[in-house]
Amino acid sequence: MKLKTICVGESFSITASNPVDDVCFPYNVLAHTSDFEFVIIPDFSSALTAVHSDQEIDLVFIDADAHQLTSVTMFVTQLREIRPRLPLIVFSEQTDDLMRYLLRSGATWHYLKSAPQLDNLAEDINTHIFLPVRWEDIFEYYARDEVKPRIE
């Protein structure tokens, strides 16, 4: 099953119509058509409208370098208000204060645009973002005698 993914940013929309090189960003992201169903939206307001109206969206990708920090932060904040648990993946050229700030603001994960991990993007996302809950381990932990309920 493909993950329905919104890609926000003009770099996604410009290159979606004429893919050239699957090594450079965003071609290296958009090349994963077997795992993702990409919906490319150039601006934040349209993306928020799409997220609000379509509950089938599984992921949001943002090109953080294509927008000002205040715009990206506002989008992240508004997205968290609409769908608090929707994974938001940020792509940037560098691992710097911008990336850390966006992660603190509510972004779920970060990739460098030239990262070799982008070759295995679907596997990475399934491993790090859509981890299955291991209920057996949770039940076993709380069934131990060392863990007592707190009664106030």
H, E, C per residue of the chain: CCEEEEEECHHHHHHHCCCCCCCCCCHHHHCCCCCEEEEEECCHHHHHHHHHHCCCCCEEEEEHHHCCHHHHHHHHHHHHHHCCCCCEEEEECCCCHHHHHHHHHCCCEEEECCCHHHHHHHHHHHHHCCCCCCHHHHHHHHHCCCCCCCCC
Are 36 and 91 in contact by the 8 Å Cβ rule? The answer is no
How would you write the pLDDT of the chain (152 residues) with one tens digit per residue? 788 899 998 788 765 455 555 567 777 788 778 888 889 998 899 999 999 999 999 999 998 888 888 899 999 999 999 999 899 999 888 888 888 888 888 998 888 888 887 888 888 887 777 766 677 877 787 777 776 666 65
Supply the pLDDT for residue 10: 79
Supply the pLDDT for residue 35: 83
Supply the pLDDT for residue 22: 57
Supply the pLDDT for residue 75: 93
What pTM did the predictor assign?
A: 0.77
Supply the pLDDT for residue 121: 84
CA atoms within 13 A on the CB side of 86: 29
Supply the pLDDT for residue 50: 93
